[in-house]
Amino acid sequence: MHIDFQAELDPEQYAAVTAIDGSVLIIAGAGSGKTRVITYRIAYLLAKAVPQEAILALTFTNKAAKEMVERAHGLTGLALKNLMVSTFHSFGAWMLRKEAGVLGYRSNFSIYDEQDRIHAIRESARELGMSNEQLDPARLSQLFSARRAGYGKQGELSERELELYDLYRKTIKVYNALDFDDLIALPLELLREHEDVRERYRSRFHYIMIDEFQDTSLQQYEFIRYIESGNICVVGDDDQSIYSWRGADFRNIERFELDHPGLAEIKLERNYRSTGSILTAANTVIAHNRRRKKKQLWSPQGVRGTPITLFEAEDDEDEAERIIARIRELRFRERADWDDFGILVRTNSLAEGIEDRLVEHNVPYRVAGGPSFYQRREIKDIIAYLKAAVNPDDDVSVLRVLNVPRRGIGRATVEFLSNIAKAHSASLNCAAETARQPGFVQTKDGHLQKALNEVFAFFDYLAQMRTALLEQKMSVSVAIRKVVEDTGYWQYLLEEHKKNDKAAVWKYRNIELLSASAERWEKDPDTFEKGIFAYLARISLSMRDDANEEEKRLNLLTIHAAKGLEFDYVFIPGCENGILPHARSLEDGDGDIEEERRLFYVAVTRAKKQLFMSRAMQRKKNGSFQETAPSPFLNELPQNLIVMAEAQVQPQSEDDLRKEFFSRLKSRFGA
């Protein structure tokens, strides 16, 4: 491995990459090559003969972690089997698999996603006798998450809801399951209370790097503090801190400075993404925030670029039409692909109106944050089989597939077993074992006995699968295919979709994609940890569907979802007071306004070539049009960099644009 680090990096990047000893704070502005710095740091550490297993890099998305490993592998040419590059939550899950017994869990615990958690909340509420009218499970899920993650507010849960929270916590522990927030809270508890565990991880990871440090929560910061041993590098940008609503605290940058006196601070301000006019706009707006690290993005190319275009539409429908018209024009004039465009919205409701127009005009598009591949019903079913196989006490997964495909197990049978489970504070699996005992079931009900026999057969099947998976006699990809074959899932799909066999075929193909994906993962030499538990953790923590990524489609997404992405042409609709900034922030004070300004800054800095902003003079709300006021952020932009667009009523088709172009050519040359 020979890399000329000084030649391949700019001076600031080189300083950031080679400062490997002690505490380092890297303030990385938008588009400054942050991921490049982290991957080159990994390569530099390896070049200095630091063992792979002594390096830990933590980030926030599986996509970012995968990209770092791929880039580091490309740089070094090494098989990075012992290098730990992970999300915080994946790292927490990995730690808990090793240490679960210390906290009273078994290592075959399940990880619940949002749907699983809501199901468990409903079950707990039912046990407390709470009616559906008293229950808003989606709201409670958010509040329970905030409480568990340490950023819940005093008094936001009633006494009854606190009782439900406590029962929910007990319920999922009976199921030997963890939710997303447990993957940080439990390792933190482990590290805080067990010095031997703390020292074990400190002595292993000699070099730690944290990506997107401004997005860490107080719990995550404390987590890091417990495992660091002196050589730690955090990379972040306080100007891009936009997740306070889920516990992120940009003040962790200030805490890091206080806790690490004498640290080295390096600023990356060269922006390799945007034109000069876009950077000037971004710098000018964000300078209005008082609590921030001073930095000034600049372009080494020195290209000023085109001015920012602002148009004022009559209403929200006119706004959507004009955005589509400009996109069609740019596609033709600049020969741009659909995926060169990003429409970034403050709220999902704003996206809906634009989406309607995209459909009407036959524009191919993707909505980031839409239903994930792993949230599709057929995929959830197969994953539930795997989860229940390795953790038969996971009642949420068991109940999902106990009668899928149909086995004649009805509500009465489930209630019969549930009553046994409640009496013994146990899972349905334990209840079934109890019901198997000779003479336990005193009934002449032939239907119940037949259904119970089906339940026993179901758990026996799970036990066979468990043995094969845990003894590694069967790979995950084979297990997926075996579940489909053994349970008759294909026939079940055909039965479910009698009137539309294409839907059955489509769902079956999705399961084949799942199996193929698992096989690729198993064969990947850079997969750090293999086996069924690592696979299920990976699936549970996957937040985005990466299917059909090669298909070129326009990107419609919230500004929050756009963070870390870039597009040649960016459109920011809804630049109105009450939307951007959001109405909530106008009520809650300066701190929230500053976060809204950071959100606007993130949207602006996604643009590479051209930036378009728009507002509707009136917007439909509750069935009637209401007048709007422009966003105050528009007034903070340098006015000499803004041009007002002329009105254009109807988006032209590409055929019309082509005809118009050739018509102009003919008139120019007198043809």
Exposed/middle/buried for residue 622 (C-beta within 10 Å: 0-12, 13-18, 19+): exposed
**DSSP code at position 375:** G
Contact (CB, 8 A) for 218 and 245? no
Which residues touch 385 (CB under 8 Å, ≥6 apart)?
397, 401, 462, 465, 483, 487
Phi/psi of residue 572, nearest 5 degrees = -120, 95
The dihedral through the CA atoms of 195, 198, 200, 203 has a sign that is negative
Which residues touch 496 (CB under 8 Å, ≥6 apart)?
504
How many C-alpha atoms does 647 have within 13 Å on its Cβ side? Answer: 8
Is 408 assigned to a binding site? no
Is 101 assigned to a binding site? no
**DSSP code at position 579:** B
Residue found under tokens 């792993």: 374
Is 574 assigned to a binding site? no
Is 531 assigned to a binding site? no
Please tell me the distance from the alpha carbon of residue 639 to that of residue 308, in angstroms, as a whole number: 10
Is 342 assigned to a binding site? no
> What are 242's two structure tokens?
């936009």
Is 30 assigned to a binding site? yes
619: left (phi over 0), alpha (psi -120 to 50) or beta: beta
Is 468 assigned to a binding site? no
Which residues does the annotation mark as catalytic?
34-35, 211-212, 240, 606
Please state whether the peptide bond connecting residue 581 to the residue before it is cis, i.e. omega within 30 degrees of 0.
yes
How far CA 45 is from CA of 14, 91, 529, in Å, comes to 13, 21, 22
Enumerate the known binding-site residues: 28-35
Enumerate the known binding-site residues for ATP: 28-35
